[in-house]
């Protein structure tokens, strides 16, 4: 069986983390999120974490060579043998090309790039109202999905969800990551989903797009 490689593309705050976790549950694809791996390394105080933290706090991308090496190592582990759902990678053309080359070397390829579309003004609102639980990693939104008031979650705001970093991340998305839309469109792999709908609808649309794109082609 060939491993499946699915990419979830979208600006910061589009809901990629939430959706990727659900798609992973529904499909059995392993959820690999480069942002989560960087954050684990920051928490663990590793050399990689120390390097990544500076970029992350400023809302900038971690350099390509470090990110690519980390991602390729992660997806070559045995738990990824059947396939992965990539969340937050690739974010630059160089990363996409490195991924394509590495997969080609294994006789595999990217199956689909799912693009969750959300306009900037909605993203600004969402990101500045996003809070996370330190212990269970659950994601809350102070407007639409507030954290429990009984103290069962210890919530905090990511440094890069603070206003200056959010503006910077959106700018980086438009400059560095948006060109990937054309990149995957040219390869006939792009599927667009309206990310402004209710979370469940976005999830349904993503699964439907994945099923349509993953279906055997003549």
Q: How far is residue 152 from each of residues 134, 140, 169, 191, 203, measured CA to CA in Å?
A: 11, 13, 31, 38, 27
Q: Which member of 11, 12, 15, 203 binds ligand AMP (CB under 6 A)?
A: 12
Catalytically active residues, by annotation = 16, 91, 130, 158, 169
- Residue 2 CB contacts under 8 Å (≥ 6 apart), including other chains: 107, 108
**Distance separating alpha carbons of residues 155 and 4, to the nearest angstrom:** 35
Q: Which of 10, 15, 35, 195 binds ligand AMP (CB under 6 A)?
A: 35
Joined tokens for residue 12: 């910061």
Does 5 interact with ligand AMP (rule: CB under 6 A)?
A: no
By rule CB under 6 A, what count of residues binds ligand AMP? 17
**What is the contact mask toward ligand AMP in residues 52 to 91, using x (rule: CB under 6 A)?**
---xx--xxxx----x--------------------xx-x
Residue 86: closest CA among 5, 149, 1: 5
Q: Return the structure tokens found at 41.
A: 């390394």
How far CA 66 is from CA of 47, 69, 158, 202, in Å, comes to: 11, 5, 22, 32
Distance in angstroms (rounded) separating the CA atoms of residues 217 and 107: 18
Nearest distance, CB of residue 188 and ligand AMP, angstroms:
23
Identified binder of ligand AMP from the candidate list 31, 160, 202, 205, rule CB under 6 A:
160
- Is the Cβ of residue 115 or residue 151 nearer to ligand AMP in the bound state? 115
User: CB nearest ligand AMP: which residue?
Assistant: 35
Give the residues lining the site for ligand AMP (CB under 6 A): 12, 34-35, 38, 55-56, 59-62, 67, 88-89, 91, 95, 160, 169
């Amino acid at each position: 069986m060939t491993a499946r490689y699915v990419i979830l593309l979208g600006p910061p705050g589009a809901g990629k983390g939430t959706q990727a976790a659900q798609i992973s549950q529904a499909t059995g694809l392993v959820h690999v999120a480069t942002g989560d791996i960087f954050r684990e390394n920051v928490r663990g105080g590793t050399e990689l974490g120390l390097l990544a933290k500076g970029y992350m706090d400023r809302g900038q991308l971690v350099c390509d060579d470090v990110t690519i090496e980390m991602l390729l190592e992660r997806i070559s582990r045995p738990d990824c043998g059947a396939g992965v759902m990539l969340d937050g990678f690739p974010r630059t053309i160089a990363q996409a090309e490195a991924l394509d080359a590495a997969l080609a070397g294994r006789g595999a390829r990217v199956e689909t790039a799912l693009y969750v579309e959300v306009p900037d003004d909605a993203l600004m609102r969402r990101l500045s109202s996003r809070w996370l639980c330190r212990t269970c990693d659950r994601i809350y939104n102070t407007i639409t999905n507030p954290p429990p008031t009984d103290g069962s979650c210890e919530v905090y705001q990511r440094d890069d969800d603070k206003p200056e970093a959010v503006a910077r991340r959106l700018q980086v998305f438009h400059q560095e990551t948006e060109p990937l839309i054309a990149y995957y469109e040219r390869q006939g792999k792009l599927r667009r989903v309206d990310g402004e709908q209710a979370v469940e609808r976005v999830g349904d649309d993503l699964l439907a797009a994945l099923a349509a794109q993953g279906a055997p082609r003549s």
